A and B are shown apart, each in its own frame.
Chain A
Amino acid sequence: MKRSVFFIGLVLISLAARATTIPVGARETIKHIKEAIQRAEAGDTLLIRSGIYREGNIILEKQLVILGENFPVLDGENQYEIFTIHAQGVVIQGLTFKDTGIASISDLAAIKILESKKVRILGNRFENTFFGIYLANSSNIWIENNQLQSQAESEHQIGNGIHLWKCDHITINNNRIRGHRDGIYFEFVTNSLITNNYSEGNMRYGLHFMFSHNDEYRNNAFTNNGAGVAVMYTKGVTMVNNTFQHNWGSSSYGLLLKDIRDSFVTDNTFIENSVGIFMEGSSRNEIKSNSFYQNGYALKLQASCDDNVITRNNFQQNTFDLVTNGSLVLNKIDGNYWDRYEGYDLNRDQVGDVPYRPISMYGTIVERMPQAILLWRSFLVFLLDRAERAIPVLTPENLMDQVPAMQPYDFY
């Protein structure tokens, strides 16, 4: 053991001895990044002095560390892709990327990583890029502390903030993404971790997620995106402690779960979304300890879902708590707190003694005829809802919470 440690230390020291730092800048001997890359050996560090670099597309196929000093600007002049990386162990830190080209056939990006491993993208700024960071067929990539911002006017003129295709073991931590098409895009990405990101004001989804198994996202916030967050055709996703806020519009969801299996949605907060969670064709998921607050529909549970467990959630001040489009009950909805619950608790065990039917009749009517929303909160609707609660006709009779909580759960 000791010997091996010593040996590794020796190797590291010898590597460090070989690596050199090459400064690049207007006042240095090497003035262009391309030139520096050409001269550098694997393991070297390029130190980019502050300034503006207009060098078109920079192709990087060596193991280099590229550090920016005071955020030098790499300008794509609205024409080029900036960095194309095809190498192992590259680090890119502290650069500003600006104005990449916009193309409809090729996906121009500020940083494109193709078939690479162990790359780290740390603390960069992206302004007005088509795609921000684009990963394809790569693994063990670390993307942290980046800021991506774009001002798109329509969906076809803009790419995704962080775009991943066919990747494995990726960490995306603490990035801020704004004004792209999708904030973060995942397709065929497995075993990855998305944490502490803030995705705001994107044209389409804050997070778009397909065929990406065994991923986990925690502590992210998705605010004000065109259609919220979509998670589709995936199994084994864990979604913990995220905030879905103010995803507002006719086809907007806080969280869209389509064909999701064996996943966990826990401790999330859904505030002011048109639809908190929209579930379709999903099975064996656990939705637990979430807060639904002031949503249009807190939960839209389509009849194509089965074996989901919805428990210990808080439903407060939503217009409609739950709607569905069928009468068959295949999911378990138990032990939630519903602020509309009017039952009693005689034995004081904090569990209501009367089952609660979370589906309101008027919710069902509005689901079928959106114009009927105009009568919401009128006396007629109040009476209809009361009558329906007593004798269910339109709403599924067996869909009820058998053990509703009397007090809201305290998650904080």
Chain B
Amino acid sequence: MNRIIKYVFYDILRTRFILFYTVFLLICTFAFFQLDNDFGKVVLSLMNVVLMAVPLVSVVFTTIHFFNSYEFIELMLAQPINRRSIFLSEYLAVASSLCLAYVVGIGFPFLLYGAWQPIYTLLITGVFLTLVFVSLAFFSSVLTRDKAKAIGIALLFWFYFSLIYDGILLWVVYTFSDYPLEKLTLALIAFNPVDLARIIMLLQLDISALMGYTGAFYKNFFGSNLGLIFSISLLMLWVLWPLLFAMRIFSRKDL
């Protein structure tokens, strides 16, 4: 398995996409630092990048990579190797390279500017988002044999979680605003990894947004250790379920 990971890793490095991604993140972060001296504001601007760009890049890169290495996978399957370990090595290689690019791209400028405090949350949530969307992309890749279709499904995931879901949530809040919705919205948030990541970050970075009775309710929940464990474990769940489903499908699939 280690060997396969190594091969996939070399393959990814050869395409240079990861390098571009790292450079893109580096430039973004440095640019925000140039524009603003306030670390808090830099992190907030980066938060938008993380919430939008990171899932998008993860999704597109993963699906393209999966279909590009289809022949390699077929070759591997001809060997006496377990399907699961092939699949897992693919996943681990892709996810770790994307995470590495992210951590270097965002973390390095902060290290340079000596701003440690706010970056932990940003790094952790970003890594989790990468993992979640790589899982989702693998899931959509094994659903179909057609590359374009798979990319379409993966993009749909991204679009759904970053835009459509929030629209539905807003609609729910709007329609039922006469009722106490705190607990319901809390439950609904759990069904969207992007929202979860956003709220974890919001609590650390933009606490003033969560004022008022309702804000205080959310803050009490997510701000406590229990809430943090809750949201992190939910994010884990979001990494695991698409991955497990994808693995199941992959190990039974007629390639």
Interface 1/0 per residue, A242-279 and B, CB below 8 Å: 00000011100000000000000000000010110000
- The B contact surface, by secondary structure, is helix
Taking the closest CB of chain A, its distance from the CB of B165, in whole angstroms, is: 9
B163 and A380 contacting across the interface, CB-CB below 8 Å: yes
Give which listed residue, B47, B163, B173, contacts A377 with CB less than 8 A. Answer: B47
Q: For residue A320, which residue of chain B has the nearest CB? A: B209
Complex Cα distance, B189 from A47, in Å, reads 68
Complex Cα distance, B208 from A66, in Å, reads 48
- Which residues B169-222 have CB closer than 8 A to chain A? 169-170, 173-174, 177, 181-182, 185, 189, 194-195, 198-199, 202, 206, 208-216, 218
Interface stretch, picked from A3-11, A164-172, A280-288, A368-376, is A368-376
A residues near B208, Cβ cutoff 8 Å = 272, 294-296, 317-319
Give which listed residue, A274, A368, A380, A383, contacts B212 with CB less than 8 A. Answer: A274
Interface 1/0 per residue, B14-57 and A, CB below 8 Å: 00000000000000000000000010110010011001100000
A residues near B85, Cβ cutoff 8 Å = none
Is A382 on the interface with B (CB-CB < 8 A)?
yes
B185 and A370 contacting across the interface, CB-CB below 8 Å: no
Is A14 on the interface with B (CB-CB < 8 A)?
no
A374 and B211 contacting across the interface, CB-CB below 8 Å: no
Interface 1/0 per residue, A359-386 and B, CB below 8 Å: 0000000001111111111111111000
Give which listed residue, B170, B195, B199, B210, contacts A372 with CB less than 8 A. Answer: B170
Give which listed residue, A249, A294, A376, contacts B202 with CB less than 8 A. Answer: A376
Is B251 on the interface with A (CB-CB < 8 A)?
no
Complex Cα distance, B102 from A58, in Å, reads 73
A residues near B181, Cβ cutoff 8 Å = 371
Taking the closest CB of chain A, its distance from the CB of B205, in whole angstroms, is: 9
Is B121 on the interface with A (CB-CB < 8 A)?
no
Complex Cα distance, B185 from A318, in Å, reads 24
B residues near A294, Cβ cutoff 8 Å = 208
- Which residues B86-143 have CB closer than 8 A to chain A? none
B173 and A371 contacting across the interface, CB-CB below 8 Å: yes
Q: For residue A339, which residue of chain B has the nearest CB? A: B41
Complex Cα distance, B166 from A266, in Å, reads 41
Taking the closest CB of chain A, its distance from the CB of B128, in whole angstroms, is: 17
A374 and B199 contacting across the interface, CB-CB below 8 Å: yes
A373 and B166 contacting across the interface, CB-CB below 8 Å: no
Complex Cα distance, B169 from A372, in Å, reads 9
A379 and B211 contacting across the interface, CB-CB below 8 Å: no
Complex Cα distance, B214 from A265, in Å, reads 30
Give which listed residue, A368, A370, A380, contacts B213 with CB less than 8 A. Answer: A370
B residues near A375, Cβ cutoff 8 Å = 166, 169-170, 173, 195
Give which listed residue, A275, A371, A376, contacts B209 with CB less than 8 A. Answer: A376
Q: With contacts A250-B216, A368-B177 known, is A378 near B51, CB below 8 A?
A: yes
B177 and A380 contacting across the interface, CB-CB below 8 Å: no
Complex Cα distance, B170 from A373, in Å, reads 10
Complex Cα distance, B41 from A107, in Å, reads 49
Complex Cα distance, B174 from A274, in Å, reads 23
Taking the closest CB of chain A, its distance from the CB of B146, in whole angstroms, is: 28
Interface 1/0 per residue, A285-321 and B, CB below 8 Å: 0000000001111000000000000000000011100
Q: With contacts A317-B41, A368-B177, A374-B189 known, is A380 near B209, CB below 8 A?
A: no
B residues near A370, Cβ cutoff 8 Å = 212-215
Complex Cα distance, B215 from A296, in Å, reads 10
Complex Cα distance, B155 from A380, in Å, reads 16
User: Which B residues form the contact surface with A (CB < 8 A)?
Assistant: 38, 40-41, 44, 47-48, 51-52, 162-163, 166-167, 169-170, 173-174, 177, 181-182, 185, 189, 194-195, 198-199, 202, 206, 208-216, 218
Q: Apart from A296-B212, A375-B169, A379-B51, what 6 extra A-B contacts exist at CB < 8 Å? A: A250-B211, A250-B213, A296-B211, A318-B208, A374-B189, A374-B218
9 nearest A-B residue pairs (beta carbon): A296-B211, A370-B214, A250-B213, A274-B211, A380-B166, A369-B177, A319-B209, A371-B181, A376-B209
